[in-house]
Structures are given as structure tokens and as C-alpha cells.
A and B are shown apart, each in its own frame.
Chain A
Amino acid sequence: KAGVTQTPRYLIKTRGQQVTLSCSPISGHRSVSWYQQTPGQGLQFLFEYFSETQRNKGNFPGRFSGRQFSNSRSEMNVSTLELGDSALYLCASSYVGVGTEAFFGQGTRLTVV
């Protein structure tokens, strides 16, 4: 059974640009959550999608957005990049998004210069 796949693995962007990250969940999983990991803040929850609907959102500015497609694949977009957006972005998939095991992808390392 294939795991969670995130693409790309590495990205370098310039301040002010926008970026789109992709996540393909484990087959059969309908919930996809996104997290940001930085040395200072640890793993912080961005948002969760289930059946193409955003059900939950963390405390991040509106520059961070996402969507989910009918095949449960999800994308995350960050607009007007800032230096502080440099981080490891992780997605996690689970069957229903609560009270169950959640499996993470390898992450996308975003560097903003």
C-alpha cells in the first residue's frame, strides 16, 4: 500500500512569489491535514480537508490556503511569500480525520530567499 506522497520535496522561492504544494493521501483516506514545522514553533496545524471541504483551520494568515480534489489529493498554496514562511510543510492523511491514526508524507522543504 503506497504511503503519503508529497511533491516537490524541495523548493526555493523568492519573497513575494507564490507556491503550490501537493499531497496524495493513502488510498481510501479521505482526510488530509497540513502542518508547518519550524525550529522555533514546532509542528503547527494549518488546515484539514475532508471530502473536498475544509473542516478545520489553524491560526495562520489568509495567505495560506488549500483545496482538496474528488480523488482526495490536496494542494496547499502560499501567496506573497515571506522569509518567515521558510519551513518544512507536511501533510497527513487518515480515514476520517479524528480519533484514528494519521500518516505523514516526507514533507516539502520550502526556502524563501
Chain B
Amino acid sequence: DQQVKQNSPSLSVQEGRISILNCDYTNSMFDYFLWYKKYPAEGPTFLISISSIKDKNEDGRFTVFLNKSAKHLSLHIVPSQPGDSAVYFCAASAAGGTSYGKLTFGQGTILTVHP
């Protein structure tokens, strides 16, 4: 039972354009969401997060949108740069109890930004 899904295995965009990465979740107990960027054989790098009490959070070129009713979040990167090429993971966590320290990850989306 995959509770966090990234339905697009890959995305290709031109440098300077917008990259939109999508993520859907099924567990209504999730209340905190994170996006990570990852290169092969390295640990994920934290990009941005959002709490369920918000619907948008911005940090520089990165903006995350959360639609709780649709159980959907998206990461927008504007403008996209070749250095953004990597695998992007969304992750979710639930409050307390048996969820301590546990992030549930999607399968990842490979982003390629062409010069």
C-alpha cells in the first residue's frame, strides 16, 4: 500500500522554464510534507517543507503547494537550472505516536533540465 505516490517517473524541462513536480498521498493523518533532492549514492538534500495548516510555502526558487482536499502537493521550481537535474522525492509524516521520526517517501521523479 503506497501511501505517497509520485506518478511521473521523469520530467524534462528547458532551462529558465518552470518545473512542476507532483505528489499524491492517501493517508489523511499526514500533516507535514517535505521535498528532497537526491543524487545517486548520496543522501537526500532537504529543499522545502509545508505544514498542513498552510497551503503554500516559498523559499527562493522553490514553492510548495498543498491541496488537502485533493491530498495533493506540488513543487514548483522557477526558473529551472541545469544544476536542478536530480531525483526529487516528496515525503510525508504524521503527528506523534507510532509516526515518530518516520517519513514516508514517494518513489521519486527524475528531473532533467536542458541548457
Closest residue to B31 on the A side, CB-wise?
A99
**Contacting A99 at CB < 8 Å: which of B32, B44, B108?**
B32
Of the four ranges (under 10, 10 to 19, 20 to 34, 35 or more), the interface on chain B belongs to: 20 to 34
Number of residues from A at the complex interface, CB < 8 A: 32
Asked if A107 meets B41 with Cβ closer than 8 Å, knowing A48-B101, A56-B98, A56-B102, the reply is yes
In the complex, are the beta carbons of B43 and A104 less than 8 A apart? Answer: yes
B96 within 8 Å of A (CB atoms): yes
Q: Is the CB of B43 within 8 A of A99?
A: no
Tell me the chain B residues, 74-115 only, with Cβ under 8 Å from chain A: 89, 91, 93-96, 98-108
Please state if B107 and A56 are interface contacts (CB–CB under 8 Å).
no
CB neighbours of A99 from chain B (8 A): 31-32, 51, 93, 95
A107 CB → nearest B CB, Å: 5
B34 at interface, CB cutoff 8 A: yes
Query: Nearest chain B CB to A95's CB is how many angstroms away?
Result: 11
- Asked if B7 CB lies within 8 Å of chain A CBs, one says no
Choose the segment among A13-21, A76-84, A86-94 that binds chain B (4+ C-beta atoms closer than 8 Å): A86-94
Tell me which residues across on chain B come within 8 A of A94, comparing CB atoms: 101
Q: For the complex, is A42 an interface residue (Cβ under 8 Å from B)?
A: yes
Find chain A residues with CB under 8 A from B101 CB: 31-33, 45, 47-50, 55-56, 92, 94, 97-98, 102
Instruction: Identify the closest chain B residue to A107 (Cβ).
Output: B43
A98 to B99, CA, bound (A): 7
A32 shortest CB reach to chain B, Å: 8
- Chain B's closest residue to A106 (CB) is B43
**Which A residues touch B51, using CB under 8 A?**
99
Of the candidates A47, A102, A107, the one whose C-beta lies within 8 Å of that of B103 is: A102
Tell which of A32, A92, A98, A103 touches B95, judged by Cβ atoms closer than 8 Å.
Answer: A98
- The 6 residue pairs across chains A and B that have the minimum distance between CB atoms: A48-B101, A104-B43, A97-B101, A33-B101, A55-B100, A43-B105
Interface of B with A (CB < 8 Å)? 31-32, 34, 36, 41-46, 49, 51, 89, 91, 93-96, 98-108
Name 8 interchain pairs, CB-CB below 8 A, sorted by A.
A43-B91, A43-B105, A45-B101, A49-B101, A50-B101, A92-B101, A99-B95, A104-B46
